[in-house]
Amino acid sequence: MCGFLGLASPLGLDVSSELYEGLIALQHRGQDAAGILSFDGMFHLRKQNGMVRDIFRSRDMLRLRGNLAIGHVRYPTVGLGAEEDAQPFYMNFPFGIGMAHNGNLTNWVDLKANQFPQDNIPLESSCDVEAILYAFAQGLQRTLASEPIEQRIHQAVAAAFDRAKGAYSVCGILSEGVMFGFRDPTGIKPCILGRRQEKEGISWAIASESVAFDVLGFDRVRDLKNGEAVVLVPGQEPIFIQVVEHAHTPCIFELVYFSRPDSFLDEVSVYKTRRRFGEALAKQWQESGAPIPDVVIPIPDSARDAALNMAEVMGVPYREGFTKNRYIGRTFIMPNQEARQRSIRRKLNPIPLEFEGKNVLLVDDSIVRGNTSRKIIEIARRAGASKVYFASTSPPLTSPCPYGIDMATEKDFVARGKTVEQVRLEIGADYLAYLEIDRLIACGKAGNPEIQNFCTGCFTGKYPTADAAEHLEALSAERASARN
């Protein structure tokens, strides 16, 4: 999973320092590497492993000149996270094209091993945006320089869609001084367009999440449709191109966990959706006759909005029972179970007052390997809880994500092949409930009734693109070898 932001301002303005601010707002989408590519007639690039704030110095910002720039934060799900895989990518010949993306290609192995070598193009990185970049360039090569830019981009995006299978949203720069964006035919990954009036003309922005617009003072224009591209010429109105028609299936896990609550995805407020998850979970809890707790406590941070509403609907007090140490890295990607469990204890410290002698209901957004829940239940008991109930605002995760959300391989999912009762025993809870899938989907759709279906592959194992299963096999082999 990754995040990107592109800014296209009228000529004469420099956008990189704003882009930097915007990338900080998207930092939750990837903390592994970041980069900015700007264009002022020439491309200027700075990218490196690390957090946004650690990568860019004043001297970099002075060098990253131009009224067009794209930036990226990376969360690696394939590859070993090498520096050369950091984004954006660009080429100067036969065209000047820069690109950043969020997503995963499910046919990347075939593209790298077979398809591009047949065209004498050796892909050098483990980053799938390189394949999209070359496919796009091949499409552009089939057009004439005299054709209108939107026709040329139409052909280039069609070529990218033709070759690159999977889920991806892209933003890029053409050396004609134009920005573009596109969203794959299923629209699994988010991509939104923003606008800001300057005295020099209109600035355009394209991003993975609308929160980047809020911090930069851009208005949300609209999300790109699935299979759609946009051409942004600074100072002019955007040109939208519907390249292919297909069923739209945005990722529901963005709403559950990944996106910031202050973002809107396909018109759906992440915050309100999480509140709805809480309400739905409260109703489900009550209907099922589950034991009523004395207090509801969220696992910070992503479960807070749901837990607060769950408590309100159930008429039970809500308390912040855990203090989170923000300076501990991600426990999710630690190399082994022991290291992950240790870090969870260091990351979350209980306030015993909220646990002593109480029946507590802990709420988290999801249970993946079960490490967090198992450890937290243990912490709650040590802090004096009489009974520890556990609720997940999403259904059991059982299937890996082929589209770039970092999920365990099949055997790591604690719920895979188990009943809820077996998972309850495994994590040591006195009661366990998962939000049912139909309720989860209803909460998402309530935010935008035009969405017919979400991608729920991680809960159901049913994926909206054809070659997902093959890709998962390759991915799991790659992860196993990376771990070794």
- Catalytically active residues, by annotation: 2
If you search the block for the tokens 């949300």, which residue do you land on? Answer: 220
Nearest distance, CB of residue 80 and ligand AMP, angstroms: 18
* The pair of three-digit structure tokens given for residue 32, joined into one six-digit string: 């592994």
* Contact indicator for 457, 468 with CB cutoff of 8 Å: yes
Q: Segment near ligand AMP (CB under 6 A), from 39-47, 194-202, 216-224, 368-376? A: 368-376
Nearest distance, CB of residue 385 and ligand AMP, angstroms: 18
| The total number of residues written for the chain in this structure | 484
CA 384, chain centre distance (Å): 37
Number of residues that bind ligand AMP (CB under 6 A): 17
* 282 closest CA partner among 312, 260, 305: 312
Nearest distance, CB of residue 68 and ligand AMP, angstroms: 32
One residue of 71, 278, 321, 370 binding ligand AMP per CB under 6 A: 370
Told to check if 367 binds ligand AMP by CB under 6 A, we report yes
Q: Segment near ligand AMP (CB under 6 A), from 34-42, 78-86, 405-413, 470-478? A: 405-413
Q: Any residues with CB less than 8 A from the CB of 55 and at least 6 apart, and which?
A: 34, 35, 46, 47, 48
Nearest distance, CB of residue 254 and ligand AMP, angstroms: 11
Q: 2 or 232, CB closer to ligand AMP?
A: 2
DSSP secondary structure code for residue 126 in this structure: S
Q: Segment near ligand AMP (CB under 6 A), from 115-123, 191-199, 239-247, 370-378? A: 370-378
One residue of 171, 405, 429, 455 binding ligand AMP per CB under 6 A: 405
In the chain, what is the straight-line distance between the N-terminal and C-terminal CA atoms, in Å?
Answer: 23
One residue of 299, 306, 361, 388 binding ligand AMP per CB under 6 A: 299
If you search the block for the tokens 């398809």, which residue do you land on? Answer: 115
Q: Segment near ligand AMP (CB under 6 A), from 39-47, 63-71, 101-109, 399-407? A: 399-407
DSSP, residue by residue, 273-326: HHHHHHHHHHHHHHHTTPPPPSEEEE-TTTTHHHHHHHHHHHT--B---EEE-T
CA distance 324 to 344: 10
Q: 86 or 376, CB closer to ligand AMP?
A: 376
One residue of 372, 393, 456, 465 binding ligand AMP per CB under 6 A: 372
* Contact indicator for 85, 125 with CB cutoff of 8 Å: yes
Told to check if 365 binds ligand AMP by CB under 6 A, we report yes
Q: Segment near ligand AMP (CB under 6 A), from 49-57, 176-184, 280-288, 362-370? A: 362-370
Nearest distance, CB of residue 427 and ligand AMP, angstroms: 9
CA distance 428 to 425: 5
∠195-197-201 over CA atoms, to 5°?
A: 110
One residue of 364, 383, 396, 400 binding ligand AMP per CB under 6 A: 364
Told to check if 399 binds ligand AMP by CB under 6 A, we report no
**Using CB under 6 A, which residues numbered 164 to 223 contact ligand AMP?**
none
Q: 262 or 267, CB closer to ligand AMP?
A: 262
Q: 105 or 251, CB closer to ligand AMP?
A: 251
SS3 for 418-476 is: CCHHHHHHHHCCCEEEECCHHHHHHHHHHCCCCCCCCECHHHHCCCCCCCHHHHHHHHH
* Contact indicator for 352, 381 with CB cutoff of 8 Å: no
Q: Segment near ligand AMP (CB under 6 A), from 165-173, 306-314, 401-409, 474-482? A: 401-409
**Using CB under 6 A, which residues numbered 319 to 358 contact ligand AMP?**
332
Nearest distance, CB of residue 303 and ligand AMP, angstroms: 7
Told to check if 395 binds ligand AMP by CB under 6 A, we report no
* 331 closest CA partner among 296, 375, 365, 298: 375
Q: 240 or 271, CB closer to ligand AMP?
A: 271
One residue of 257, 277, 318, 434 binding ligand AMP per CB under 6 A: 257
Amino acid residing at 224: L
One residue of 127, 232, 297, 368 binding ligand AMP per CB under 6 A: 368
* Contact indicator for 182, 173 with CB cutoff of 8 Å: no
Nearest distance, CB of residue 16 and ligand AMP, angstroms: 29
Amino acid residing at 130: E
* 78 closest CA partner among 356, 484, 373, 480: 480
Q: Segment near ligand AMP (CB under 6 A), from 168-176, 266-274, 360-368, 463-471? A: 360-368
Told to check if 407 binds ligand AMP by CB under 6 A, we report yes
Q: 123 or 405, CB closer to ligand AMP?
A: 405
Q: 139 or 404, CB closer to ligand AMP?
A: 404
Q: 76 or 464, CB closer to ligand AMP?
A: 76
If you search the block for the tokens 């990351």, which residue do you land on? Answer: 347
Told to check if 302 binds ligand AMP by CB under 6 A, we report yes
CA distance 255 to 440: 10
Q: Which residues lie near ligand AMP (CB under 6 A)?
A: 257, 299, 302, 332, 364-373, 405-407
